[in-house]
């Protein structure tokens, strides 16, 4: 996988958009699988993340740089995701915007790109997209997801109590 990833950043058949993208995304997906498989022994430290990012910058511009960036950003994302930040933890214990961010991010990014055009700087595009996506994710959480999740406990209670599942006026089956 690493060899194919190196080759996909070069020229030729492997660098064509469908094949090269498939290999690069496949490599990143494989990184996630490996991280999950070895989650018990992977130590997450900011110092290691910084070292990996520094290494990626040192080998930037080479096929090794692309692989190093993928590995270092994946590791840094794991470190950031496992870091407890009190205000963030307090917010995320009551609110889960992850599904809304996942669902709405790409369509909103595309809409901003089509509306504003490619002339706007990338950071402006990302900022506008992030703000709008957060708004949609928050609305989705408050109006759809949280109410739907509250039904889960009611459904579980009714499944646990067979008497509540009977239709009013019906006679139980006796064999």
pLDDT score of 67: 86
Query: How confident is residue 107, by pLDDT bands cut at 50, 70 and 90?
Result: very high
DSSP string, the chain: -HHHHHHHTSSSGGGSHHHHHHHHHHHHHHHHHHHHHTTTT----HHHHHHHHHHHHHTTTSHHHHHHHHHHHHHHHHHHHH---HHHHHHHTT---HHHHHHHHHHHHHHHHHHH-TTS-HHHHHHHHHHHHHHHHHHHIIIIIHHHHHHHHHHHHHHH-GGGGSPTTPPPP--
**The pair of three-digit structure tokens given for residue 104, joined into one six-digit string:** 């709405």
pLDDT score of 118: 82
Calculate mean pLDDT across residues 73-86.
88
pTM: 0.56
pLDDT at 104 over 70: yes
User: What sign for the dihedral angle of Cα 26, 31, 32, 37?
Assistant: positive
pLDDT at 13 over 70: no
- The percent of residues in the chain predicted with pLDDT above 70, rounded, is 78
Q: What is the mean pLDDT of the chain?
A: 82
The gap from C-alpha 114 to its chain's centroid, in whole angstroms, comes to: 24
pLDDT at 145 over 80: yes
Q: How far apart are the first and last CA of the chain?
A: 62
- The percent of residues in the chain predicted with pLDDT above 90, rounded, is 43
**Which region among 11-25, 26-40, 126-140, 147-161 has the lowest average model confidence (pLDDT)?**
11-25
Query: How confident is residue 110, by pLDDT bands cut at 50, 70 and 90?
Result: very high
Residue scoring higher pLDDT (159 or 155): 155
């Amino acid at each position: 996988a690493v060899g194919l990833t190196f080759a996909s950043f070069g020229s030729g058949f492997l660098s064509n958009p469908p094949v090269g993208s498939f290999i690069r995304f496949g490599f990143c997906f494989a990184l996630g699988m490996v991280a999950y498989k070895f989650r018990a022994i992977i130590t997450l430290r900011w110092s290691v993340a910084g070292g990996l990012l520094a290494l990626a910058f040192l080998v930037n511009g080479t096929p090794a740089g692309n692989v190093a960036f993928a590995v270092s950003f994946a590791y840094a994302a794991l470190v950031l995701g496992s870091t407890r930040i009190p205000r963030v933890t307090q917010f995320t214990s009551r609110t889960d915007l992850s599904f809304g961010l996942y669902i709405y991010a790409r369509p909103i990014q595309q809409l901003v790109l089509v509306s504003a055009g490619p002339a706007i700087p990338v950071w402006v595009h990302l900022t506008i997209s992030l703000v709008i996506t957060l708004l949609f994710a928050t609305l989705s959480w408050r109006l759809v997801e949280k109410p739907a999740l509250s039904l889960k406990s009611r459904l579980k209670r009714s499944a646990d109590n067979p008497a509540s599942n009977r239709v009013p006026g019906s006679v139980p089956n006796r064999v």
